[in-house]
Amino acid sequence: MNYNKKVKMKTQQILLTALLFVFLSCNTQAQKMKIEYVGNAAAKKDMHVWGSSPVQDKNGKTHLFAAQWSTASQPGNFSGWFKDCEIGHYVGDSPEGPFEYVGIAVPDKDGLFNSPHNPTVSNIDGQYQLCFIVNENNDLKTQRIIMYVADDLNDTWRPAKGAEADCTILRQTKNPEVWNYTARLGVSNPSLIKYNGKYFLYHKSVVRKEPKGYVYSYGVVVADNVEGPYIHQPTRVTEEKMPLEDAYAFTMKDSVYMISRDFRASLGNSGGGLLWKSGDGFSFPAEKTERSYEDLQHYVGEEYLKDAVSYRGKKDGHLERAQILFIDDKPAYLYLATGVQVKPGYGSSSHVFKISFE
């Protein structure tokens, strides 16, 4: 083989290796999220409206299910969320609103089914699912997850078949070999997906951190049927070094993603969020996690918030409870809650953003 031919072959090998490296790099990095502020979503006079979860019906209308409670409840603090909350139902002709309040989807019941909060709605296998948390007698240590199902969005919700008699689909484990056995605030903040023919219910627990303290982490339970029963997985899906809150799980291009609040300012200030990626749904490595969104002030400007009332957090409006609306199987809109309000007579409310991934 002559010298020129050897050089040509070597060059081709180097080029192929470089192309393969670029291809693999693109496929191991999280998708970049583009975000554009649209405006206010669900709001109600004299009420806090928190964490709007969207879904579209068969006619293309957008329904939001949101935690809500009176601004007169527990005046001076935000604790009404776990004492006096209910889940409200809002409907709009467009994902961008305006949204009309149509009624209570899940009422606050007795002390054992207290303050339904942090709803997340999904449409899997032609059925709607509504998951949320409750507690017992205002005690956060008793938090557990409820699952309702329905064939329409007329608030004809019924208990999931695999749930307990009180509609509980998940409560804190009693197995010391499961990662959140030491959880101090039960299980909370659910997010439900279908992935590889199984059903994954993600949830938060606040667990002990060695040598001292506690950390906010996420785990997953898995079922063969969307209505359960769900089986605890022994290990957490996020790393202790990167705490998170309010994670919303979704699938895209054969991967599982979570968008969450950056609870301890790991990649920016705590007013923004994180985008997590997993190849199997059971592990979301910290090194693949990126910044996803910023606080409200970043999008609306400081002038817009100069006269705002802050019911929760700083006046820059940290954003929580990320929930995504898919249109044509693509993530299209992001709904986020904030405790900052510029409209007199209204409490906290949700905001809507257009999103896309590249």
Burial class (CB in 10 A: 0-12, 13-18, 19+), 307: exposed
Residue 230 lies in a domain: yes
Residue 23 lies in a domain: no
Residue 229 lies in a domain: yes
* C-beta of residue 251 within 8 angstroms of C-beta of residue 123: no
CATH number at residue 71: 2.115.10.20
Residue 19 lies in a domain: no
Residue 152 lies in a domain: yes
pLDDT (0 to 100) of residue 188: 98
Of 333, 349, 275, 353, the closest CA to residue 56 belongs to: 333
Can you name the residues that pair with 262 across neighbouring β-strands?
none
Residue 1 lies in a domain: no
pLDDT (0 to 100) of residue 124: 98
Residue 10 lies in a domain: no
- Average pLDDT per block of 10 residues along the chain, 358 residues long: 46 41 42 92 96 96 98 91 98 97 97 98 98 98 98 97 97 96 96 98 95 94 98 96 96 96 92 96 96 96 95 93 96 97 96 95
Burial 229-256 (b: 16+ CB within 10 A, else e): ebebbeebbbbeebbbbbbbbbbeeebb
Structural domain tally of the chain? 1
Residue 27 lies in a domain: no
Cis, peptide link before residue 176, omega less than 30° from 0: no
* C-beta of residue 43 within 8 angstroms of C-beta of residue 343: yes
Burial 328-347 (b: 16+ CB within 10 A, else e): eeebbbbbbbbbbbeeeebb
Q: Which domain holds residue 119?
A: 32-357
pLDDT (0 to 100) of residue 76: 83
